[in-house]
Amino acid sequence: MALGVAPAPGESFASWIDRLGADMALPPGRVADVIGLGREARANDGTPLLFGVSLPPSAALAVQKATNVSVARLVAMQLSVFDGTVLDLAGWDTHAGLARVKRKQWALFLRSRACPACLAQSGGVWQLWWRLGVAVACPVHKTLLADVCPSCGVALRRGTAATARVLSRTLLIPPLTCGNRTDWPRSPAGCRQQVDAIETQPAPGWLVDLQIAYLNAARGAQMTFGDHRLPPAEWFQCLRAVIAMTRATASYLTLPGRSGLPAIARDAWGADVAASWRRSVGQESARSLPRSAALMAALSVFAAPVVLARGDAELADAIRPVAEAIAVARAERRQHGDSNSPLRGVRVPPLVEQARMRAVPYRVGVVAHLAPFTSSSAYHPPRLGFQHIPQVVCAEDYQDLLAVFLPGTLPRTGRRYAALALARLCGATSWPDAVSALGIPPERARALGGFASFRIADPQAFLRAVAVLAERLEQRGPVDYTARRAALDHLVILPPEAWRRLCGQARVVATWPRARHAAAWLWTELTGGYWEEAPALQEARWPARPLGWARLYRTFARTIPAVLAGSLRGWGTDVLAEAGIR
């Protein structure tokens, strides 16, 4: 037989048969007859058994004989080429085994995704890999793959809404047409949607990187996971596990704002968090194949950096959000007397489990509760920038709102911790990030390492109190502490005339050491910092600093008359106002 259409590189078997059909003006069921997919290889409905999944040797030989296309090329068009890498088709050749394979393996056995731009360029060649479960983004066009036909609402290449694709002996479906039969007999020709005209959304770069890595694994490449080299099948098990872990704990995770995910993916995430499968035991579970490319893309926000990490340290960082979400989900279940693991049924490979343990050693601090707190509907994100947060929460606010959560903690430690917690609430991604966001000198920050392990009995209530603090700071201005620090950095001593005038009003003797202490006191008041960090008290800026400087300052601060304190604060606010700073 002379064929007008040879299989294209990477083409799926179904695609090739459709293109043959277009060329021969024959419906696919007739093409299957002509090319030698004989009766014995068909089910009662006319579909060749395992069509597109695997080609039995006898059928492959028959098709080779009829078409002159080699068995090797015919086999390369079947999903079975991925057996042993990203698929495990063991047992498919028995009836029960096939049902299990279809239920458990991450492949689209009865439908396909598609890149419309690739279809347009190739004139309708459907890639085989578009039928893999983690087919998400086109590496060439950097767009999400399309799942569902926008006209008929049915998955691409499914055939009919009710039952899966049957190779029709009467209906010819052009390769660039949807052709799903959803409205028969009113439109017997099937859905007319042009598949190459379906609109797509841009895919972020990290998602394309994940897609390329997954396709390398699918083709049998050696992979890495942290510091380990892994066979492709084991790497895929790690990817699958992290996606399932993400899905199981999604309500404790927040999609990062700067992920580049299109809105369709964020919507899919939100819908899956609210989906009914979470409330009932059924076919669908966290370990199931996420149905759409959009949902797979959203879940991959957390999984991609884990499976693409260069080294174990990066791996532990990457898995931390999911690891903390699992810990919080567990703690919450225990509180409700539910002993079921949130990961029930998810098979977690030892390498993933080890990475999770490294990321969250034992118990989780307050930050693990941040995402659930900020994603709750009652929560309004503060309109504060980092510049509006003091380096130390002032003593009154701390006593009012937060001291109760930190029994046995020195107030000065607790006040610093509260400022950093507020920075976390305002978007700092880690404790070191919070330290630098608040402009705290790095040499001071070393002592703050322990904050990551602070334990608070009721983290939710603590975060609510921090949010109340944020509201207070908003209502008070907000104050730009960064600008204040910059403006007052030169204030190492009160200017002589001003100092004499203020002291005269308060009936205090205006001495030089006091002028310096007053500068330090004012800086501490206005910038919300620790007094030890005041420019006026630094040895480098105080050439004749006496040995007892700290004790002397503390005495000054403790005994400053209220009148002087009030007029000093007024003078400082005027200086700032002149510089246009509030």
Catalog residues that contact Zn ion under the rule CB under 5 A: 115, 117-118, 138, 140-141, 149, 151-152, 178, 180, 191, 193
Q: How far is the CB of 298 from Zn ion (least distance, A)?
A: 20
Of 156 and 343, which has the nearer Cβ to Zn ion?
156
CA atoms within 13 A on the CB side of 543: 0
Q: How far is the CB of 148 from Zn ion (least distance, A)?
A: 8
Q: How far is the CB of 152 from Zn ion (least distance, A)?
A: 3
Contact criterion met (CB below 8 Å) for 559 and 506 = no
Q: How far is the CB of 111 from Zn ion (least distance, A)?
A: 12
- Which of 491, 475, 470 shows the shortest CA–CA distance to 374? 470
Of 198 and 268, which has the nearer Cβ to Zn ion?
198
DSSP H helical ranges for 249-311: 263-273, 293-307
Of 115 and 217, which has the nearer Cβ to Zn ion?
115
Contacts of residues 214-219 at CB distance under 8 Å and 24 or more positions apart, as own/partner, are 214/86, 214/132, 214/134, 214/239, 215/129, 215/139, 217/85, 217/86, 218/82, 218/85, 218/86, 218/129, 218/132, 219/85
Q: How far is the CB of 143 from Zn ion (least distance, A)?
A: 7
Q: How far is the CB of 149 from Zn ion (least distance, A)?
A: 3
Structure tokens at 454: 């602070």
**If you search the block for the tokens 């015919």, which residue do you land on?**
74
Structure tokens at 453: 């392990």
Of 206 and 542, which has the nearer Cβ to Zn ion?
206
DSSP string, 50-80: TTTT---HHHHHHHHHHH---HHHHHHTSGG
| Pairwise CA distance, residues 137 & 297, whole Å | 8
Q: Which residues of 88-102 are buried (b: 16+ CB within 10 A; e: fewer)?
A: bbeebeeeeebeebe
Contact criterion met (CB below 8 Å) for 94 and 87 = no
Of 149 and 352, which has the nearer Cβ to Zn ion?
149
Of 171 and 568, which has the nearer Cβ to Zn ion?
171
Of 149 and 465, which has the nearer Cβ to Zn ion?
149
Q: How far is the CB of 267 from Zn ion (least distance, A)?
A: 21
| Pairwise CA distance, residues 409 & 415, whole Å | 10
Q: How far is the CB of 245 from Zn ion (least distance, A)?
A: 30
Of 209 and 234, which has the nearer Cβ to Zn ion?
209
Of 180 and 524, which has the nearer Cβ to Zn ion?
180
- Which of 446, 441, 582, 564 shows the shortest CA–CA distance to 511? 564
Q: How far is the CB of 21 from Zn ion (least distance, A)?
A: 18
Tell me the helices (H) and strands (E) count for the chain, helix number first.
Answer: 23, 4
